[in-house]
Amino acid sequence: MSTVHRSPDSRSRPIAIDLFAGAGGLSLGFEQAGFDVVAAVEYDPVHAATHLFNLPSCEVLCRDVANLSAETLLQAARAGFRKLHPRRQWPGQVDAIIGGPPCQGFSAGGKREEDDSRNQLLLHFVRLVEEVRPRALCLENVAGLLETRFDRVREEAFGRLRAAGYRLSGDESPLNCLDFGVPQSRRRVVILGILEAPAPTLVTVDYRPSVEDAFEGLPSPLKYATLLQSDEVKLDEDDIRRRQCIRNSYARQLAGLDPLSDDKSRLRRWDPAIITGARRTVHTEATIARFAATAPGSVEPKSRLYRLPSHGPSRTLRAGTGSERGAHTSPRPIHPEEDRVITVREAARLHGYPDWFRFHTTNWHGHRQIGNSVPPPLARAAAHALLVALQRRPMRLRAAVPLGEVSLLHLSRKEAQPIFNALTSEIPKARARKTVEAVTVA
């Protein structure tokens, strides 16, 4: 299947499809840059529901990309376009396919197996690019993708993209999210491709926020008993005042006090007096004592949990494993000042998510969604590079839009599956969950 490319209006918003979309970090960054992400594909119903909540006008397919045809993908793209632009005609083309194929087979946090079946999903990304032929592509993955042991699958993937006419950049060395304004050391590979134009390049930033910057204005969850049973609570007057008095630009933007530079996303309607993603984690007295004895920037010996420094970046936030791989809870960093692990909202701040963006209400799903996602500031930088290559300057949007139904964030996999008519044969199979000793969740 091919797409006829026509010269677009330079001010119109380019159309993107997100594969392996997760909770929506890549989608959000591209929206912020000025893309309309009209369709997203995610095989886990829980993550698909979270994506739908945060980007309710996007057409979400809960499907396995390996079984997805280009025709079905384009049908979803047209449906999503109609939701965003009910009075406009489908332009007949896709400007970008973006996505981060599951990286556990390439990741230092996994077993790095050359024959891991998930590595083949990279080639399904390539297959859909070949069939849909968007003007551009963005492929994100872990630094391990460039290791020599993965030469065969990587060279096949990149060779096929080049044979299809795409000029690629980013395939020589990984980059670090620190260089894109994320307060987290996170090495990633970002491959950008473009048809009939020079290969795009990402632009780094000079500002490097710290953990302390990221957490400024967030309340201590320990003062709210409600957060033992819920992930959200209305802030008291003191915490509302602290939030309004945030000083650093990074946290002010995520808190919605200042706009992002050149933000072209759809403004969301939300209540900043309510903190979300703040469910408390209950520790034993012995665990709390061990945390108290752990210096910032060091590892607590028994749990092997890392204590965040205040005046520097976080280490890489990890996702653990999905329920199909034993459901191992990823180690959550210890807060730099309080003797507890960080909340989902604090992890979201370290990843560059705005405070209106919500995750599943359980700690296990919420932290996994963040750890698996692309930090929105990195996604935004990639999107800006593609816009330059495409010679597009999309218009800024002014109208605020609502978020989705909050019930989407409470669903189990079994409850979320029928919402998307997801096939049982395509969603991950659950196995027993294993948790870290020090982070027993209430």
Give catalytic residue positions. Answer: 103
Whole-angstrom distance, CA of residue 16 vs CA of residue 98:
7
- Say if CB 146 and CB 335 are below 8 A apart: no
Question: 233-234 and 274-275 as β-strands: parallel, antiparallel, unpaired?
Answer: antiparallel
Query: How many Cβ atoms are within 10 Å of 358's Cβ, its own excluded?
Result: 27
- Say if CB 39 and CB 73 are below 8 A apart: yes
Query: How many Cβ atoms are within 10 Å of 77's Cβ, its own excluded?
Result: 26
**Per-position DSSP letters for 134-168, written without gaps between them:** -SEEEEEEEGGGGSGGGHHHHHHHHHHHHHTTEEE
Distances in Å between the Cα of 231 and the Cα atoms of 69, 315, 322, 359 are: 38, 24, 21, 10
Pull the structure tokens for residue 236: 């008291």
Question: Of 274, 269, 286, 379, whose CA–CA distance to 22 is shortest?
Answer: 379
Cα angle value 288/291/295 (rounded, 5°): 155
Whole-angstrom distance, CA of residue 282 vs CA of residue 439:
7
Q: What is the dihedral of CA 51, 52, 55, 61, to 10 degrees?
A: 80
Backbone angles phi, psi at 25, to 5 degrees: -65, -45
Residue 136 forms beta bridges with which residues?
96, 194
Cα angle value 129/135/138 (rounded, 5°): 60
- Say if CB 413 and CB 29 are below 8 A apart: no
Amino acid identity of residue 11, one-letter, is: R
Q: What is the dihedral of CA 21, 382, 364, 53, to 10 degrees?
A: -50
Question: Of 8, 103, 82, whose CA–CA distance to 38 is shortest?
Answer: 82
- Say if CB 291 and CB 334 are below 8 A apart: yes
Residue 107 contacts by C-beta under 8 Å, 6 or more apart in sequence?
A: 142, 144
